[in-house]
Structure 1
Amino acid sequence: MTDQDDGWERIGDWSFARFGKRTIVFSRSDTGQSYSVEVDEDEQELINVLVGAHTLELGIDRKMHRNGIFQLRGGLSDRNDLFNIDRYAWIELTLSQPAVIEYWGTGVLFRKDEEISGEPVRGLLAFRR
């Protein structure tokens, strides 16, 4: 999927995306198990995935926006079997209502999980000084 094809605009690496701080509860589309994802605009290069007592930090490589909705994209560097993500290479977290997280392989969508609780995240772009 290319950025031009899906209508998302990339936010520059030095630009600040105001998406707030939020913990989002998701339900796995394959097992129904719930887990949480933490996002914080003060930590724009990372999101945390929490499954039980375990936390996985995911690096964010791209910040995108479209119609006031933010999307965070990044690669999976930790392939810990506790998270059953050994086949995934890329995530896309869309901070819509409900929020959606997609787990991608090499050009193949493996899983798409939807938020089961939370509030929408909308914001404006601002530049870091």
Structure 2
Amino acid sequence: MAWKVLIVDDEPGIREVLKDYIEMNFEHTKIETAENADTALKKVTEDQYHIILLDIVMPGLDAFEFLRRVKDLNSLIQVIMITGNSTMERVLESIEAGADDYLLKPFSTKEIEEILKCSFARIERWRNAFRNSF
């Protein structure tokens, strides 16, 4: 199975580090990037993604509004919020908006690996549940 991941971050360095790490460590994974939520929303409406890594603070469309729109389009897309400014309010806001997980900058490769493995496993469980119920 080929996985599709969209990395949305206004920092080119973060996009490239995440893209390179995922490509090197997760087989059968296609990675795309977007520099803001406006561009990402266009991509999400034109293509199907399994996981979105979403920076919270970016210019343009608000990340929480983007998250809500993505979940309205496909609630099974796993959205992982990324931020360098973490507060309990921000985490709760992310969860309430529909985020599936949360990653705090600076993050380690181990954290990325754990979050992605959990997200891929969650998607597989849902696929199996749907397959068995139809």
TM-score, length-scaled by structure 2: 0.27
More helix by share: 2
Higher relative contact order, chain-length normalized (CA < 8 Å, sep 6+): 1
More strand by share: 1
